Amino acid sequence: MPRFPTLVGRGGARTGWTYARSGVDRGSIDAGLSALLRAVRYRPVGTGTRPLAVPGHFAGLVRVGRETIAITTDTVGTKSLLAAELGSWEGVGEDIVGVNVNDLAAVGARPCGLVDCLSLTRPDPAILRAIGRGLDRGLRTARCALLGGETAVVPDVVRAPDLGGTAIGWFPAERRPVTGATIRVGDVILGIPSSGVHANGFTLVRRLLRDGRTDVNSRGPSGRGSLGEELLAPTRIYSPAADAVADLASTHGLAHLSGGGVRNLVRLHPQRQFILDRWPVPPPLFEWIRSRGRVTPREMFQTFNQGIGFVLVVAPSGVARTRARLAAVGTRDAVPIGHVEAGRGVVLPEWDLQYHGYA
């Protein structure tokens, strides 16, 4: 996931697998990141462009002449290792688009272009063709142009394909970035289902597969296709949904639930509490991960999307209109998952979980 400030949380027991134990230690990553960010002190003055401060948000924003541009960069991470194991590359090609445009969607930006950045062990035309097909499908869904890219063949640098990209977006007509600043007590929280684990938590998932000597070709938890296919399902793209509602004054906040899970909601407003009291039962794939790894609910909700990939925080008076707009672009499965109260952090009452604000 892209950089965001350290989040702290509490609640839930500490047993079974955690993301840190699987090899991703958020604490030490955060320490390294602070070291980098503290060293970057330059802020441009008088160049005609102005970065806009959106603390802790999903995309960078910059005023460029008469327009505001949003930018996001992300990779598919270790999901590419599972793609390599299964020889299945189209889905991760589509993920390159999804992981980036969904972060644009979270600020209400409409995608206008993507560049991909691939570091490969070898220039295999079959793999690149499949990645290209995936990119094409993702770009088509997001209505986004491919503006260029970089393909480096660097077997001494990478063990397996490192697949990333950068997307830029903009705010048509009078649209302003959706930052969460207008979120009010009483707002309704809507969730749009995910298509699976998207491109998050794969370091943990791969560990479970290896430790359990699980055959990825065995039947998947949902009963549709193999386990490998379920895990590799490409990231659902929420750009058309976000674009359809970003102009409504009732759209107070948007969030992409990626690597931080529901913790990502904390970023929307420091003085609001997000009560997720109607969270749908997570799909079988998440239950498989949870039970197979004896992963705590606390860890599941801060590592995986748990079945909801995108969240809209909406004024109560705007809910009907929001759902109509979503339906008009084909998103008919948005469901109410909670509401906003005074306070801070994210609460999942049914699971006895709380995630706090910024550290």
Which 216-255 positions form the footprint of a copy of itself (CB under 8 A)?
A: none
Is 201 a residue that touches a copy of itself (CB under 8 A)? no
Q: Closest distance between a copy of itself and the C-beta of residue 24, in Å?
A: 6
Of positions 8, 15, 49, 270, contacts a copy of itself by CB under 8 A:
49
Of positions 86, 128, 248, 329, contacts a copy of itself by CB under 8 A:
128
Is 158 a residue that touches a copy of itself (CB under 8 A)? yes
Is 36 a residue that touches a copy of itself (CB under 8 A)? yes
Is 136 a residue that touches a copy of itself (CB under 8 A)? yes
Cβ atoms of 253 and 180 within 8 Å: the answer is yes
Of positions 5, 85, 86, 117, contacts a copy of itself by CB under 8 A:
117
Burial category of 38 from C-beta neighbours within 10 Å (exposed 0-12, middle 13-18, buried 19 and up): exposed
Quote the CA–CA distance of 96 and 117 in Å, as a whole number.
Answer: 9
Q: Closest distance between a copy of itself and the C-beta of residue 353, in Å?
A: 26
Helix (H) or strand (E) holding 273: strand 272-275
> Which residue's structure tokens are 């998952």?
337
Of positions 106, 194, 206, 288, contacts a copy of itself by CB under 8 A:
206
Beta bridge partners, 120, equal 153
Which residue, 208 or 353, has its beta carbon nearer to a copy of itself?
Answer: 208
Is 322 a residue that touches a copy of itself (CB under 8 A)? no
Q: ∠ at Cα 313 (309, 318), nearest 5°?
A: 125
Provide CB contacts within 8 A for 141, sequence distance 6+. Answer: 97, 237, 239, 240
Which residue, 134 or 282, has its beta carbon nearer to a copy of itself?
Answer: 134
**CA distance readout (Å), 206 to 62, 193, 232, 234:** 37, 23, 12, 17
Which residue, 71 or 319, has its beta carbon nearer to a copy of itself?
Answer: 71
Burial category of 192 from C-beta neighbours within 10 Å (exposed 0-12, middle 13-18, buried 19 and up): buried
Quote the CA–CA distance of 225 and 247 in Å, as a whole number.
Answer: 39
Q: Closest distance between a copy of itself and the C-beta of residue 32, in Å?
A: 3
Of positions 13, 29, 249, 324, contacts a copy of itself by CB under 8 A:
29
Is 39 a residue that touches a copy of itself (CB under 8 A)? yes
Q: Which candidate, 268, 262, 241, places its Cα nearest to that of 328?
A: 241
Q: Which two tokens stand for residue 151?
A: 């393909």
Is 337 a residue that touches a copy of itself (CB under 8 A)? no
Q: Which candidate, 168, 123, 187, 112, places its Cα nearest to that of 145?
A: 112
Is 270 a residue that touches a copy of itself (CB under 8 A)? no
Cβ atoms of 308 and 194 within 8 Å: the answer is yes
**CA distance readout (Å), 55 to 34, 62, 115, 169:** 15, 13, 25, 18
Give the binding range for a copy of itself (CB under 8 A) out of 7-15, 139-147, 331-339, 350-358: 139-147
Give the footprint of a copy of itself on residues 55-84 (CB under 8 A).
59-62, 64-67, 69, 71-75, 77-78, 80-81
Of positions 16, 113, 221, 284, contacts a copy of itself by CB under 8 A:
113
Give the binding range for a copy of itself (CB under 8 A) out of 105-113, 267-275, 310-318, 337-345: 105-113
Is 151 a residue that touches a copy of itself (CB under 8 A)? yes
Is 181 a residue that touches a copy of itself (CB under 8 A)? no
